[in-house]
Structure formats: C-alpha cells, structure tokens
C-alpha cells in the first residue's frame, strides 16, 4: 500500500506534468523532454519520504526536472558524435559460409551503430552501447551508469524503438 508521501509526490507530479515537459523541453530540447521527466521522477522516487506537503513535492519536482534537463543538455553537448571509426568496443559478427551475407550483416550493424550515435541522447546511447554492443547484462549496465535495472530496460527500449523507426524509414526499401 502506498503511503501519504508517495501519494502526494505522484499526484503533484501528474498535475505538473505539462509544465514540467515545457521546462524540460526548453532546456534540453523537445525530443529529450519525456526522458528528462522520467529520469527526474526516478530520482525523486528514491527521496519520496522527504516529501511533507504538496508545496515540498512541487518544489522538489521542479528542481529535479530542471537539474535533469541541464544534465541532459550538458551530456549531449559535451559528447559530440564520434565517427564510426572512433567507436569504442568491437562488433562481433557470427561467421557464415557466405561472405556476401556476412558483409551485409556487418553493414547493417555499422548502419545501426551510426544511427544510434546520431540520434540517441547520451544516456540512451550509453545503455545501448553497454548492453547491445558490449554485451553487458541489465544489472551490470545499471551498476555502471548508476541507474535501476528497470530504468535501464525502459531506456534501452526507447533507444531501440528510435533506431528501429529510423532504420525502417530510411534504409529499408
């Protein structure tokens, strides 16, 4: 059963969601707003016992969203896209007898990684890189990035969806 602090935090967050999205979008960009809000709520959830009133909840919520948006903006601008040749890690390809099939698979992987570098925010790319490219499990990724496993799953799901949509729209005939 949820306690009063949890109810206050959740109801305040839901009530302010449109304003929070506007704040996050203004700082980090419209494409990042939902991710920023999600990250802020996850951060707040760990401190929900500190919420004593709706005013406290609103104050903490605005502060968390503002700080998450600033963090997102800084991460995105501090780590500009690298060329594929500078990509960390190695790409593992399953060996086949057919060289053209292997080359096609390598080109597809390279295209997917290139899309990921161009369109994902830094948090999404880090999760995608650690899990899908380097092969870490959810627990290792969560520990490395200071996230919960659930947050890793959500972030990875959003990253894959973004990559899939761009790949389908631009590379499949």
pTM, to two decimals: 0.45
> Is residue 90 located within the same domain as residue 59?
no
**90 and 73 co-located in one domain:** no
Residues 76-113: tens digit of each pLDDT? 776 555 444 444 544 444 444 567 777 777 888 888 88
Residues 93 and 160 in one domain: yes
pLDDT tens-digit series, residues 105-137 = 788 888 888 888 899 999 999 998 888 888 888
What domain range includes position 71? 4-78
- Show the 3-state SS of the chain: CCCHHHHHHHHHHHHHHHHHHHHHHHHHCHHHHHHHHHHHHHHHHCCHHHCCCHHHHHHHHHHHHHHHHHHHHHHHHHCCCCCHHHCCCCCCCCCCCCHHHHHHHHHHHHHHHHHHHHHCCHHHHHHHHHHHHCCCCHHHHHHHHCCCHHHHHHHHHHHHHHHHHHHHHHCCC
Q: Please provide the average confidence, as pLDDT, over all residues in the chain.
A: 79
91 and 145 belong to one structural domain? yes
**Total domain count, the chain:** 2
**Listed residues 60, 78, 96: the one ending a domain:** 78
Tens digit of each residue's pLDDT (9 = 90 or more) over 37-62: 888 888 878 777 777 788 888 888 88
């Amino acid at each position: 059963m949820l306690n009063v602090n949890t109810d206050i935090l959740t109801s305040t967050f839901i009530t302010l969601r449109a304003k929070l999205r506007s704040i996050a979008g203004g700082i980090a960009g419209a494409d990042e707003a939902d991710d920023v809000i999600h990250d802020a709520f996850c951060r707040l959830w760990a401190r929900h016992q500190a919420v004593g009133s709706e005013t406290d909840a609103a104050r903490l919520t605005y502060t968390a969203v503002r700080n998450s948006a600033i963090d997102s903006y800084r991460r995105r601008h501090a780590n500009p896209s690298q060329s594929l040749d500078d990509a960390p890690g190695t790409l593992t390809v399953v060996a086949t007898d057919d060289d053209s099939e292997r080359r096609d698979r390598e080109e597809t992987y390279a295209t997917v990684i290139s899309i990921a570098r161009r369109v994902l925010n830094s948090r999404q790319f880090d999760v995608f890189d650690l899990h899908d490219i380097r092969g870490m499990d959810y627990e290792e990724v969560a520990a490395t990035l200071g996230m919960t496993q659930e947050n890793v799953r959500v972030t990875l799901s959003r990253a894959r969806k973004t990559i899939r949509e761009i790949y389908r729209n631009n590379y499949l005939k």
